[in-house]
Amino acid sequence: MSNDVADRVKKIVVEHLGVEEAKVVESASFIDDLGADSLDTVELVMAFEEEFGCEIPDDAAEKIVTVQNAVDFISENV
Amino acid sequence: MRRVVITGLGMVSPLGCGVDHIWSRIINGESGLGKITQFEASDLACQIAGEIPVGETADGYFNADDHVAAKDRRKLDPFIVYGITAAQQAIEDASWKPEDEESLFRTGVMIGSGIGGLQTIANGAVMIEEKGPRKLSPFFIPSSLINLISGHVSIRYGYKGPNHSVVTACSTGAHAIGDAARLIQMDDADVMVAGGAEAAVCRLGIAGFCASRALSTGYNETPEKGSRPWDKGRDGFVMGEGAGVVVLEELEHAKARGATIYGEVVGYGLSGDAHHITAPPPDGNGGFRAMSAALKRAGINAGDVNYINAHGTSTPLGDEIEFGAVKRLFGNNEDVCMSSTKSAIGHLLGAAGAVEAIFSVKAIKEGVVPPTLNLEDPSDECQGIDLVPLEAQERKIDVALSNSFGFGGTNASLVLKAFR
């Protein structure tokens, strides 16, 4: 399950941020490592919501700053 | 007064991408107008427009990937992409890529639009009705705002001088060049990247101008015939899209770095009609006063103007009124000629004035005047001035005047002169 979630999360990150797949490792920070700005991260969270059919509240979204954070939240809440 | 010259040109239009390619096609009498293909138009009264031809950059077509990365285009309405593209061309043409801080502080941007991100706004409005406000992109606002072309160009090139934007409907491009030239004259900057961009060829845009009865509706099966300024058969304008951007530069600054000088911005005149939201006053006094003011500023007599690039949109009312104002001002100038390049590319709204200033400066540089296509049978009221019907003419052009008039009764005229 979590492997599948991780793959889908990474795919979205690659598409939205236009970064190389190899750079999208679990520990990667969207802003510090992958060149996102704050608006990009808002859009990323929206894309996760769309992909996984869930709603991520703003206070939870603020804590999703790395690929692993996203995988963990989705695995625990979806 | 500090003098201002043009040292870079950039353009995206229905005739292609890149000034030289577009210029050769417009001189060749080609049309960029056709049936609308980007969206369902069969229920619209006007079903024709000038869309941007997509293809390889090397062939003179528009390839967005060569100008803005795909991941960034999702965040930008097409009008911003066109504006960035034309700016990129103009900046490369001018070879102005300073790195020292003082030069960056002295370089500004003033690129406007008449309408802005109309497609994005339309899509966003539908989105929040259908899926709710949480689904709206965080880039919705910055992808729609008119001044964001100037913003993006400044961010890309590091230009930290005046960052401004014009919104005066169909006069936008001319006002942007005129106002940016003034900033250089007033010593607020040494270099300004100026112009206009538009991408309103969408269902909402076409439907909106249809509703105000401004568009051609009688040429849906012969789109290349739809834009016919001063012709008896004209029945409204045909909308085009794209962008025109120039690099303006203080003369000594341009000379010192050995820049190619296309021409000089010697005159700029502005006026308001104070008459009606969409119609010009019957005597055309607003346009007359804008042209007169531009000539006065330039210190040039009406008799010394060789070419006028008209506003000439192909509307029944506007063409005759502009013609009348030109006749009053230039009636004794037997050598002047006037053409409307909207006959080939349609009306680019906020980009029109900038695109047409570029055509004017090319006419000066190349000694060729672009034609007024489809002018087969001029209106009885439009006689006595050579309107360059159907075919381009070789002429020595020393001084050109370009007119732009916009909804709300806002008028701008630019006077451009050969630099010798």
Asked about A37 being catalytic, the answer comes back as: yes
What is the rounded CA–CA span in Å between residue B398 and residue B34? Answer: 34
Which residues make beta-bridge pairs with B282?
Answer: none
Asked if A17 lies within 8 A of B71 by C-beta distance, the reply is yes
DSSP string, B21-38: HHHHHHHTT----EE--S
What is the rounded CA–CA span in Å between residue B6 and residue A1? Answer: 62
Which residues make beta-bridge pairs with B308?
Answer: B338, B401
Is the predicted pLDDT of residue B83 greater than 80, yes or no?
Answer: yes
**pLDDT tens-digit readout, B214-230:** 999 999 999 999 999 99
Considering only CB atoms, A43 lies closest to which of B72, B134, B138, namely: B138
B70 contact residues in A (CB cutoff 8 A) = 18
Is the predicted pLDDT of residue A1 greater than 60, yes or no?
Answer: no
Q: CATH code for A2-14+29-77? A: 1.10.1200.10
Q: How far is B165 from chain A (nearest CA, A)?
A: 23
List alpha helices for B167-247, DSSP H.
172-185, 203-211
User: What is the percentage of chain B residues whose pLDDT exceeds 90?
Assistant: 98
What pLDDT is stored for residue A78 in this prediction?
A: 85
Instruction: Provide mean pLDDT across the span B33-58.
Output: 97
Asked if B71 lies within 8 A of A46 by C-beta distance, the reply is no
Supply B5's token pair. Answer: 């010259």
* Residue A3 pLDDT grade (very low, low, confident, very high; cuts 50, 70, 90): confident
Do the beta carbons of residue B7 and residue B262 sit within 8 Å?
Answer: yes
Secondary structure in 3-state letters for B268-322: EEEEECCCCCCCCCCCCHHHHHHHHHHHHHHCCCHHHCCEEECCCCCCHHHHHHH
Supply B86's token pair. Answer: 């034309």
What pLDDT is stored for residue B420 in this prediction?
A: 83
- ipTM of the complex, rounded to two decimals: 0.87
Top residue of B134, B136, B140, B143 to mutate, by most chain A CBs within 10 Å, is B134
**pLDDT tens-digit readout, B60-77:** 999 999 999 998 999 999
**Domains of chain B from N-terminus onward:** 4-263 (3.40.47.10), 268-418 (3.40.47.10)
> Among all residues of chain B, which has the CA nearest to that of A55?
B134
B140 near A CB under 8 A? no
> Among all residues of chain A, which has the CA nearest to that of B134?
A46
B128 near A CB under 8 A? no
Domain boundaries, given as residue ranges, for chain A: 2-14+29-77
- Give me Rg for the CA atoms of chain B: 20
Secondary structure in 3-state letters for B48-66: EEECCCECCHHHCCECHHH
Per-residue buried b or exposed e for B80-107, using 16+ beta carbons within 10 Å of the residue's own CB:
bbbbbbbbbbbbebbebebeeeebbebb
What is the rounded CA–CA span in Å between residue B340 and residue B284? Answer: 17
Q: How far is A16 from chain B (nearest CA, A)?
A: 6
A13 contact residues in B (CB cutoff 8 A) = none
Do the beta carbons of residue B130 and residue B138 sit within 8 Å?
Answer: no
**pLDDT tens-digit readout, B308-328:** 999 999 999 999 999 999 999
**Global confidence as pTM:** 0.96
The DSSP 8-state label assigned to residue B413 in this structure reads E
What pLDDT is stored for residue A2 in this prediction?
A: 62
Considering only CB atoms, A39 lies closest to which of B70, B134, B138, namely: B138
Mean pLDDT in chain B? 97
Q: What is the amino acid identity at position B129?
A: E
Q: How far is A72 from chain B (nearest CA, A)?
A: 22
Asked if B138 lies within 8 A of A42 by C-beta distance, the reply is yes
Catalytic residue among A37, A40, A58, A59: A37
* Residue B114 pLDDT grade (very low, low, confident, very high; cuts 50, 70, 90): very high
**pLDDT tens-digit readout, B246-283:** 999 999 999 999 999 999 999 999 999 999 999 999 99
What pLDDT is stored for residue B340 in this prediction?
A: 98
Q: How far is B188 from chain A (nearest CA, A)?
A: 32
